[in-house]
Chain A
Amino acid sequence: MATYSRNETGRRAALGLLLGAAVLPFAGTRAHALDVAEARSLIDRVVFEIKRIINSGKSEQAMYRDFEGIFDRYADVPTIARSALGPPARTASRAQLAAFGDAFGAYLARKYGAQFREFIGGEIEVRDARQLKNFFEVRSTVDLRGQSPFSVSFMVSDRSGANKFFDIVIEGVSLLKTERVEIGSMLERRGGDIDRLIRDLRSA
């Protein structure tokens, strides 16, 4: 299954590359694989937005909503959702997956949007970017008042069809891995009932 989709992606990428090459001289659009510089510039934008929100002087509640928007625009939420659900995603129906994706997306934005709140009054700088196998790691340093600086990495890929980040790793703690554990436990506690999980996630 994984091999099949990999080939699919490869074929689509090749096709895109051909199309891009054909269009390039006329429209000046770019359609090539993501590279380190692009991955970095995506996260530069994310960091820029975070800073803009922090310095906006809005109420904390308003900032909170703005932070949630970062996930909508810059993160590959469907992939994060499916990965968090783990193997049960394979047997789930299409409708269940879609409903789970929605509920999980909102849950994620609430939970991690709140994390960005800690950046208020602090500094965040993109440090460097590097390729790791098929994706890119863009590392930033977060300097919060009264604490030692933290490392925050964004994992970036274009394999969803757009340049998106699919993981945030804070001092080695990956959102993806951590949510897999948490969602896995939630599902187990509900006897593997995905519909119940979706319902409860909406109010979590």
Chain B
Amino acid sequence: MSWNVFLLTEFFRMARKIGRFALVSAFLALCACTTPDQPVETFDPYEAENREVHAFNRAVDATALRPAATGYGTLVPVPVRMGVANFSSNLGMPSMVVNDLLQGNPGDALHNGFRFVLNTTLGFGGLFDVATTGGFEERTSDFGETLAVWGAPEGAYVEVPFLGPRTERAFAGDVVDLVLNPVNYVFGLEYGGVIVGARAATALDSRFALGETLDEILYESADSYALLRSLYLQNRRFELSEGGVAGGEPAFDPYEDLYGDIFEE
């Protein structure tokens, strides 16, 4: 039993990007985020419904995503898969620039904008990530983060069909990103199929890379729902705190609070 946390974080990054292009019910984006009466580690008022969605997502993975990912990963050579992943990641850059600006972070906007220009030109339309090679690493941002910067509460934990774990805020962000993304307006009509195809292939690629790690979490842990929820929330809060959003996940001191009573509801 050894799922791999390193790969998992890559998966979350990928999942966030994929989320923006998936079909989502827009009304959820408009609903206000639910807030708990007092701050809690895990706010999951929809647990019963979420667990049903989790069972559904698990079945989708077992019957469709996982087999398709295995096929894609074994049949398509690495350089091709990498090119596709880079291409699809590059398409996410303009959206990140927009969010960087909305967050009042012109530095990152410039950084990500430069990445986009570099990879689109020298990287042959984004097939090669020359920017990262040249020292301009990806600095992710999304509208969920923008909402956090603006002071919106995290909301409840939700597991979304096909997309997996989200906070309400992050999910609302995904929906807005779908609408905000400049790429969709410039190329969406003409090349919509290519864009969606690249995203789908990238999703398969990341599922393939995760391999055993996600298998262990989904199929071999004692309670895959609770484990995934914990992993997602911890990682998401960390990402936001790295992005400068206050109120991240507090570190746990087992010497002060050996039995962790504060987390008991």
Interface residue ranges, A against B (CB under 8 Å): 2, 6, 9, 79-80, 82-83, 86-87, 89-90, 110-111, 114-115, 118, 132-135, 137, 142, 144, 147-151, 155, 157, 159-160, 166-167, 169-174, 176-178, 180-182, 184-186, 188-189, 204
A189–B225 alpha-carbon span in the complex (Å): 13
Q: Residues 199-237 of chain B: 1 if any A CB is under 8 Å from the residue's CB, otherwise 0?
A: 000000000000000000000011100110011001111
A94–B7 alpha-carbon span in the complex (Å): 38
Specify which of A137, A149, A170, A188 is in contact with B137 (CB 8 Å cutoff).
Answer: A149
Q: Residues 1-18 of chain B: 1 if any A CB is under 8 Å from the residue's CB, otherwise 0?
A: 110111111100100000
- Within B230-257, the residues touching A (CB, 8 Å) are 230-231, 234-239, 241-242, 248-249, 251-257
A121–B242 alpha-carbon span in the complex (Å): 26
Which residues of chain A come closer than 8 Å to B249, judged between CB atoms? 172, 174
- Does B27 have its Cβ within 8 Å of any Cβ on chain A? no
Kindly report which residue of chain A lies nearest to residue B239, judged by CB atoms.
A172
With contact pairs A147-B6, A170-B6 given, residues A2 and B258 touching in the complex (Cβ less than 8 Å): yes
Decide: B1 and A189 in contact? CB cutoff 8 A.
no
Decide: A185 and B223 in contact? CB cutoff 8 A.
yes
Which residues of chain A come closer than 8 Å to B255, judged between CB atoms? 9, 79, 134-135, 157, 159-160, 166
Which residues of chain A come closer than 8 Å to B9, judged between CB atoms? 150, 170-171, 173
- Does B138 have its Cβ within 8 Å of any Cβ on chain A? yes
Decide: A185 and B5 in contact? CB cutoff 8 A.
no
- Shortest distance from the beta carbon of A66 to any chain B beta carbon, whole Å: 16
Give the interface size bracket for B toward A. 35 or more
Decide: A82 and B258 in contact? CB cutoff 8 A.
yes
- Does B264 have its Cβ within 8 Å of any Cβ on chain A? yes
A89–B258 alpha-carbon span in the complex (Å): 9
- Does B37 have its Cβ within 8 Å of any Cβ on chain A? no
Decide: B10 and A147 in contact? CB cutoff 8 A.
yes
Specify which of B223, B242, B252, B261 is in contact with A167 (CB 8 Å cutoff).
Answer: B252
Number of A-B contacts (CB under 8 A): 133
With contact pairs A86-B259, A171-B5 given, residues A177 and B235 touching in the complex (Cβ less than 8 Å): no
Which residues of chain A come closer than 8 Å to B138, judged between CB atoms? 148
Q: Across chains A and B, which 8 residue pairs bring their CB atoms closest together, nearest first? A: A172-B238, A185-B223, A185-B222, A114-B2, A83-B254, A186-B222, A171-B9, A181-B230
A78–B172 alpha-carbon span in the complex (Å): 42
- Shortest distance from the beta carbon of A56 to any chain B beta carbon, whole Å: 20
- Shortest distance from the beta carbon of B44 to any chain A beta carbon, whole Å: 12
Which residues of chain B come closer than 8 Å to A177, judged between CB atoms? 230, 234, 252
Kindly report which residue of chain A lies nearest to residue B221, judged by CB atoms.
A182
